Amino acid sequence: MSNEHHMLRQASPANIALAANMLQDSQCVAFPTETVYGLGALAHEAAAVRQIFTIKGRPSNNPLIVHVADRAMAGQYGVLNDCAYALADAFWPAALSLIVPVKEGVVAPEVLAGNETIALRVPAHPVAQALIRAVGAGIAAPSANRSGKISPSRAAHVVAEFAHHTQQPAMVLDGGAARIGLESTVVRCVSEGAEILRAGSITAQQLARIVPLVSKSKEDTGHLPSPGMLSSHYAPNASMRLNARSVQPHEALLAFGMPCTGMPAQMLNLSEASDVDEAASHLYDYVRVLDATHDHIAVMPIPEKGIGLAINDRLRRAAVSGA
């Protein structure tokens, strides 16, 4: 029992300093960000970065986001073009990852997974900021879940993901529930503008106020630029039935707003007030809770506005591989 929680620590200044020492010592540490928890290693430490892939069971062709403290530090890792500068100035620190050409020799090759570009993000979370500043270097960190599974929005989710595995993070810093609860918007910065690779809380409308948006043609989807953008991802064990207008007794219900008709086996409401931001912050926690005791989850329709677009993107991927 104690073995399951020995790695969990409050994100106090002393424990952040301890975590920084572990990172410097080439170990992996899970830490909070405002989107989801990340599983971090120093971006230039190849052995530690390889350990991230091992712990997650992540395919080696899926590149990692490098977390930096500010725009100046981003400039040490990537070549920011006009588009990247404009977006960085408008949004960072934020749930926004920018993909730009990588500078040579600044990160372990494993971080890039064969790409000549790097994904950079300045997180707003004070614990993430403190950790980056304590190590004085970029921290490569994917979401702290096993590959293909639901991202963790709480420290306890991270502990649960790896508790029964031999390979674990050296420490999980507990900074409370993630404020946003969904992964960052991923944007590729090209000379013509920004191409959205993954929807997130920074919306297309917000981005379009700053730079032109370049959209990928439909025929392009044969070779996705991001291996992480697989159709099956964020997978619970339960089956997921989306856009449910009524619910069956054998199903658990993930409600949004006024619950639909029917008597579900259990119900959790993402937002009684029909607020998409509140729904995003509860999404992964509630899916995990329902998935633990039910085989079938019905999900009410979520409006395609604001972060609702990103919620629906994740739900569709979660629904693909359900049992």
**Chain contacts with ligand TXA (rule: CB under 6 A):** 33, 35-36, 38, 62-65, 95, 97, 99, 115, 117-119, 121, 141-143, 183-184, 186, 197, 225-229
Cβ distance to ligand TXA smaller for residue 58 or 294? 58
Span near Mg ion by CB under 5 A; candidates 143-151, 187-195, 241-249, 250-258: 143-151
From the list Mg ion, ligand TXA, none, pick the one residue 227 interacts with, judged by a Cβ distance below 5 to 8 Å according to partner type.
ligand TXA
Cβ distance to ligand TXA smaller for residue 101 or 257? 101
Cβ distance to ligand TXA smaller for residue 51 or 143? 143
Q: Is there a contact between 234 and 318 (Cβ–Cβ < 8 Å)?
A: yes
Task: State the sign of the Cα–Cα–Cα–Cα dihedral 107, 108, 109, 112.
Answer: negative
Binding-residue total with Mg ion (CB under 5 A): 1
Residue closest to Mg ion when measured from CB atoms: 143
From the list ligand TXA, Mg ion, none, pick the one residue 270 interacts with, judged by a Cβ distance below 5 to 8 Å according to partner type.
none
Question: Any bridge partners for residue 277, and if so which?
Answer: none
Question: Any bridge partners for residue 10, and if so which?
Answer: 174
From the list Mg ion, ligand TXA, none, pick the one residue 185 interacts with, judged by a Cβ distance below 5 to 8 Å according to partner type.
none
> 263 burial class (0-12, 13-18, 19+ CB within 10 angstroms)?
exposed
CA 42 → CA 10, 68, 96, 128, 299, distances in Å?
21, 11, 20, 13, 39
Distance of closest approach, residue 119 Cβ to Mg ion, in angstroms? 12
From the list ligand TXA, Mg ion, none, pick the one residue 307 interacts with, judged by a Cβ distance below 5 to 8 Å according to partner type.
none
Does residue 312 bind Mg ion (CB under 5 A)? no
Does residue 143 bind Mg ion (CB under 5 A)? yes
Cβ distance to Mg ion smaller for residue 40 or 193? 40
From the list ligand TXA, Mg ion, none, pick the one residue 43 interacts with, judged by a Cβ distance below 5 to 8 Å according to partner type.
none
Does residue 168 bind Mg ion (CB under 5 A)? no
Assigned token pair, 196:
């959205």
From the list ligand TXA, Mg ion, none, pick the one residue 318 interacts with, judged by a Cβ distance below 5 to 8 Å according to partner type.
none
In single-letter form, the type of residue at position 319 comes to A
Cβ distance to ligand TXA smaller for residue 87 or 265? 87
From the list ligand TXA, Mg ion, none, pick the one residue 41 interacts with, judged by a Cβ distance below 5 to 8 Å according to partner type.
none
Cα–Cα dist 176/172, whole Å: 11
Nearest to 56 by CA among 33, 81, 28: 28
Cβ distance to ligand TXA smaller for residue 63 or 308? 63
Residue carrying the six token digits 């960072």: 92
Residue closest to ligand TXA when measured from CB atoms: 228
Cβ distance to Mg ion smaller for residue 33 or 143? 143
Cβ distance to ligand TXA smaller for residue 62 or 129? 62
Q: Is there a contact between 66 and 139 (Cβ–Cβ < 8 Å)?
A: yes
From the list Mg ion, ligand TXA, none, pick the one residue 107 interacts with, judged by a Cβ distance below 5 to 8 Å according to partner type.
none
Which residues are near Mg ion by CB under 5 A? Answer: 143
